[in-house]
Amino acid sequence: MDIVQAIILGVVEGITEFLPVSSTGHLTIVEKLLGLKIDDPGVTAFTAIIQSGAILAVIIFFRSDIVRLAVAWVKGLFNPAARGEFDYRFAWYVIAGSVPIGIVGFLAKPLIEGPLRSLWVVAAALIGWSLVMFWAERVATQQRGERDLKLRDVLVVGFFQCIALVPGVSRSGATISAGLFRGLDRVTATRLSFFLSIPALVAAGAYEGVSSAGDISSTVGWVPTLVATAVSLVVAYASIAWLLRIVAHHPITVFIGYRIALGVVLIGALASGVLSAT
């Protein structure tokens, strides 16, 4: 991979990571268009590692919230009186909601890196999950805010996050939809989606960086990987603020037309032989 390709992929990751359009799906498509072998272990690891840049953007953007939650959590561990505070409970909610994807991601790793690394899967997921997003908005009551969160809500959102391991679904699209199904308002669902992304994507990036270091070195290269990660950080930081403004005033269904159009174009390209699935 050259530096120009790395920059392009970093921009794609940064723009799409927190939008309900599937960053992994977009990265897979663009990697294929750039002539990369999308089911190569090094390319798969690269796709996971550069998401760390986007997650660092989340940490920077929500740094004051994260520090407040961390302080409340530590304080609650040693002071029973502090355990009634919402921040202490919310910190535990984030931890509990991150457990499902940690288990499923580890157990399903061969499937994620094998059969699911197909553009047919991406196309089907882009279209199929759009219907779920539409349904979520249709039935959403949005009557509950962040202070109304319960452990069951976060576990449901955490299980939905596992579905986003399928390229094309979208992690934010899955988690925001789950929040809407639970009656959360859109901003609360989106903020929860951001917080749940931190443990999930940090763990995935760290795991791939260690376990697939050799594959990265022999195929993609560490310099392009680090460049793409840095670019994704800068671009993702801008995308976070934009998405929060969008969801405050618009339903997530505004992204459905784009998702379906991309899925249809991709199916046409695959069916005509313009693109191969892997």
- Answer whether residue 147 is part of any domain: yes
d(CA 13, CA 31): 11
The total number of structural domains in the chain stands at 1
In whole angstroms, what is the distance from residue 100 CA to residue 160 CA? Answer: 9
Output the pLDDT for position 116.
81
The answer as to whether 7 is a domain residue is yes
| pLDDT for position 125 | 94
- What pLDDT sits at residue 180? 94
- The predicted-structure confidence for 63-115, as pLDDT tens digits, reads as follows 999 999 999 999 998 888 888 889 999 999 999 998 898 888 878 778 877 78
Whether 66 is in a domain gets the answer yes
In this structure, is residue 277 part of a structural domain?
no
Residue 93's domain spans which residues? 3-272
- Give domain status of residue 278, yes or no: no
Contact between residue 236 and residue 54 where contact means Cβ atoms under 8 Å apart: yes
**What is residue 40's predicted lDDT score, i.e. its pLDDT?**
80
The model carries a pTM of 0.86
Cα angle 94, 92, 24; round to 5: 15
pLDDT, residue 135, reads: 94
Residue 236 lies in a domain: yes
Position 264 scores a pLDDT of 95
Nearest to 175 by CA among 161, 195, 156: 161
pLDDT computed for residue 47 by the predictor: 85
Q: Which segments in the chain show pLDDT lower than 70?
A: none
Q: What is the DSSP string of 159-181?
A: HHHHHTTSTTS-HHHHHHHHHHH
Angle at 98 between CA 96 and CA 99, to 5 degrees: 70
